[in-house]
Amino acid sequence: MKLFAAGVAEQIENPPAYLTRCARNLLISRARRRASAHIVTCAIDEGRDAPAPPEQTWGIEEGDIRRVYRRTLLAMPRKTRRIFLMHRLKCMTYAEISEQVGIGCSGVEYHMTRALARCRRAASVHRL
3-state secondary structure of 6: helix
Helices (H) and strands (E) in the chain, counts: 7, 0
4 lies in some domain: no
28 lies in some domain: yes
25 lies in some domain: yes
Q: Report the run of H or E that residue 81 belongs to, with start and end.
A: helix 78-88
Domain that holds residue 16: 11-37
What total of structural domains would you count in the chain?
A: 1
d(CA 35, CA 17): 27
CB contact set of 96 (below 8 Å; sequence gap of 6+): 86
CB 101 within 8 A of CB 79: yes
Amino acid at residue number 102 = G
33 lies in some domain: yes
CB contact set of 19 (below 8 Å; sequence gap of 6+): 3
32 lies in some domain: yes
pLDDT of residue 29: 87
pLDDT of residue 48: 66
d(CA 26, CA 21): 9
16 lies in some domain: yes
DSSP 10: G
Task: Using only the alpha carbons of the chain, give its radius of gyration.
Answer: 37
pLDDT tens, the chain, 128 aa long: 766 676 777 777 887 888 788 888 888 888 888 777 676 676 766 666 666 677 778 888 888 889 999 999 999 999 999 999 999 999 999 999 999 999 999 999 999 999 999 999 998 887 64
53 lies in some domain: no
pLDDT of residue 57: 82
24 lies in some domain: yes
CA angle 68, 71, 74 (to 5 degrees): 150
Quick check: pTM over 0.75?
Answer: no
